Structure 1
Amino acid sequence: MNIYGVVGYKNAGKTGLMERLVTDITGRGFTVSTLKHAHHTFDVDQPGKDSHRHRVAGAQQVLLASGTRWALMTELRDAPEPPLTDLLAQLDPVELVLVEGYKRDSHAKIEAFRGETGNPLIARDDDTVRAVASDCPLDLDRPVFDLNDTKAIADFILSEVGL
């Protein structure tokens, strides 16, 4: 599987870029999966639902299945968060996995950047950031794309991974 990351600080446009990239790249006929890192507690389950009750009762894993989709929830309890490589190993094979977050890992990435946020550029100090998608002009030693030019960004990523 080819892996490519989308990184950036909060409100930089990462999730919107991820959504547009998935739409564009799958529209070209490639299979794509995504993996998103969350820095906060999240819950895909709803209190009162059977699967939530199973989890709260102490189940290590709960697999919820229907005729439309299935989801496997794994409780870490007090175990450490698994590394990206372990999480990627849980995915079915596809042509491209887009990873949102995990900016400290060593895979190639594109940085989403909005000038109005006032955050520093990750790319200045990180060679794994191969390009930047920005809403303002930047002077960098690597490609800078318009944040909304999804086609050009997708072309770049697909070229980078050899698809």
Structure 2
Amino acid sequence: MAAAVYQITGYKNTGKTTLVCRLIDYLVSRGVPVATIKHDGHSFEAEPAHTDTARHRSSGAVWSAITSADRTAIVKEKPSALLELIGEAPAEAFILVEGFKAERLPKLVIVRRAEDERLLGELSGITAVAVWPGYHLRKDAVPAEAELFEIDDVQGIGDHIQIKGSRRQS
């Protein structure tokens, strides 16, 4: 079976990264290889300023790679579309995407505060909503086809995303 792609979305400081890390732990414990793709709304620096590869890029390199016995990192001086990154990920990996709210892939939306509910009416592909403890989500706010989870229900969410993830073309 081809691996799948699933998005974890929500506004800043809603717990996306924490949930993604917990889902990685859960899926890996079940023997599922996981790849991740994260959207950063700001410019980021992939390596410390005075490393050799950072110096290569500051000298004008548009593509820079570094490899060791344990890992490889590639930095491109251009943005990449989500579908391009998905295509570069290992074929056998289940891809967890953090962010990229507007993409049309199956997604979970995290709701921590009242203002977060707005996303439930704006985004497409919502198959799940995760709410924080103590937050009472209006029942009519949850899209008809979506399942509702507590944010700490990692097993329930993990099982859901394995079923609902968009199958990759192999």
TM (normalized to structure 2)? 0.86
Q: Report if aligned partners of 1:7, 1:103 keep a CA contact under 8 Å in 2.
A: yes
Could you tell me which residue of structure 2 aligns to residue 112 of structure 1? 110
- Structure 2 residue identity aligned to 1:25: L
> Can you list the C-alpha shifts for 1:6-38, whole angstroms capped at 9, x where unaligned?
000011111100000001001100111000000
Could you tell me which residue of structure 2 aligns to residue 101 of structure 1? 99
- Structure 2 residue identity aligned to 1:158: Q
* Post-superposition offset of 1:162: 8.6
Could you tell me which residue of structure 2 aligns to residue 86 of structure 1? 84
CA distance in 1, matches of 2:19, 2:156: 12
Could you tell me which residue of structure 2 aligns to residue 158 of structure 1? 162
TM (normalized to structure 1)? 0.90
Match status 1:26 vs 2:28: yes
Could you tell me which residue of structure 2 aligns to residue 37 of structure 1? 39
> Can you list the C-alpha shifts for 1:111-160, whole angstroms capped at 9, x where unaligned?
11212x74334123334111101112321232110001101100111122
CA distance in 2, matches of 1:3, 1:88: 8
Aligned residues: 158
Cα pair distance change 1:75/1:66, threshold 3 Å: same
Task: Identify unmatched segments of 5+ residues in structure 1.
Answer: none
Q: Report if aligned partners of 2:105, 2:166 keep a CA contact under 8 Å in 1.
A: no
CA distance in 1, matches of 2:163, 2:30: 13
More moved, 152-161 vs 133-142: 133-142
CA distance in 1, matches of 2:22, 2:152: 9
The one of 121, 125, 131 equivalent to 1:128 is 125
Identity %: 30
Q: Report if aligned partners of 1:24, 1:150 keep a CA contact under 8 Å in 2.
A: yes
* CA-atom RMSD in angstroms: 1.7
- Structure 1 residue identity aligned to 2:98: E
The alignment partner of 2:116 has SS state of: coil
CA distance in 2, matches of 1:95, 1:55: 30
Could you tell me which residue of structure 2 aligns to residue 6 of structure 1? 8
Could you tell me which residue of structure 1 aligns to residue 58 of structure 2? 56
CA distance in 1, matches of 2:166, 2:98: 20
